[in-house]
Chains A and B, each alone.
Chain A
């Protein structure tokens, strides 16, 4: 089973890289981008085949290491 974890910054947390991307897009002539926010994607290959248990494991991994709950949210996507 594979897990794909999207880690994003909480709203209200300053994202200077997002701001730089926003600025660069408008420099390139792309109009209408109100906001850009950055994040990261982490992919894991898991031995666990039960989706419920896999989600539990990955959730624990996110809380202990993969995301920092002070500044980040995470979202877990499981695929077989």
Chain B
């Protein structure tokens, strides 16, 4: 399996996700600079976390129009899987590859902590190593992670099983108290309708080694390697 990690000015989780991918794949991913309009054929494109373009205008808004995103959109249209984590999720919504928008946290505070997530479906390229309903711990680190979508859009996501993860408490219950940022319906991550694009605010790559405090995220990368090799 081959993967690419896109690097925008202000990305800061590109190396972390490259390390997690390399461990799972047995080879390093290709790092692609945002100005590149083309890159080699890969089985997975990752948009990493960070603060691309200093979050100017709106989070992810400038990056969504970077050269490389035209190519990412073209490949996503052909079914190449795309994973956007944190700022990567924000770029995916701004570029129209995923519905909705990410806004300032309800608390107005930067949230940096471990979060419990309920896996809404294990039936996807990204979540095949998890059971539907399983509780996993990833790490959240964001200021603009409040997922917004209108009621009709939310119902559509639910009907088409496009919700990947929801914030939950220790017992796996999806409660308002477990919602760290004010996201609609505790949504932490969503798929496109084909489930080939996943955007999520919490970081699986920051839970991919016991040294980091947990390994729940490793299964996502291992599952992707299994599915895409």
Residues on B with C-beta less than 8 A from A12 are 150
From A14-22, A25-33, A49-57, give the one contacting chain B.
A14-22
A13 contacts chain B at the CB level, 8 A cutoff: yes
> CA of A13 to CA of B102 in the docked complex: distance in angstroms?
11
Most buried by B among A14, A66, A70: A70
A11 to B: closest C-beta gap in Å: 11
Is the pair B148, A71 in contact by a Cβ cutoff of 8 Å? Answer: yes
Q: How many chain B residues have a CB neighbour from A under 8 Å?
A: 20
Contacts A16-B107, A20-B108; is A70 near B182 (CB within 8 Å)? no
> CA of A64 to CA of B95 in the docked complex: distance in angstroms?
10
Residues on A with C-beta less than 8 A from B108 are 16-17, 20
Contact of B105 among A16, A65, A66, A68 (CB under 8 A): A16
Query: Could you count the A-B residue pairs with CB atoms below 8 Å apart for me: how many are there?
Result: 36
Residues on A with C-beta less than 8 A from B107 are 16
A67 to B: closest C-beta gap in Å: 9
Is the pair B58, A14 in contact by a Cβ cutoff of 8 Å? Answer: no
B127 contacts chain A at the CB level, 8 A cutoff: no
Residues on A with C-beta less than 8 A from B65 are 64-65
Tell me the dominant secondary structure on chain B's binding face: loop
Contacts A14-B148, A14-B182, A20-B108; is A71 near B103 (CB within 8 Å)? yes
> CA of A25 to CA of B149 in the docked complex: distance in angstroms?
29
Q: How many chain A residues have a CB neighbour from B under 8 Å?
A: 12
Contact of A16 among B57, B100, B182 (CB under 8 A): B182
Q: Closest A residue to B151 by CB, please name it.
A: A12
Is the pair A70, B105 in contact by a Cβ cutoff of 8 Å? Answer: no
Residues on A with C-beta less than 8 A from B101 are 68, 70-71
> CA of A68 to CA of B101 in the docked complex: distance in angstroms?
8
Is the pair A68, B61 in contact by a Cβ cutoff of 8 Å? Answer: yes
> CA of A14 to CA of B104 in the docked complex: distance in angstroms?
9
Is the pair B106, A16 in contact by a Cβ cutoff of 8 Å? Answer: yes
A21 to B: closest C-beta gap in Å: 11
Measuring CB to CB, which residues of chain A are less than 8 angstroms from any residue of chain B? 12-14, 16-17, 20, 64-66, 68, 70-71
7 A-B pairs closest in CB distance: A70-B101, A71-B101, A16-B108, A16-B106, A68-B101, A16-B104, A71-B148
With A12-B150, A70-B99, A70-B148 given, can you name 12 additional A-B contacts, CB distance below 8 Å? A13-B148, A14-B103, A14-B182, A16-B108, A17-B104, A65-B65, A68-B58, A68-B61, A68-B94, A70-B93, A70-B100, A70-B101
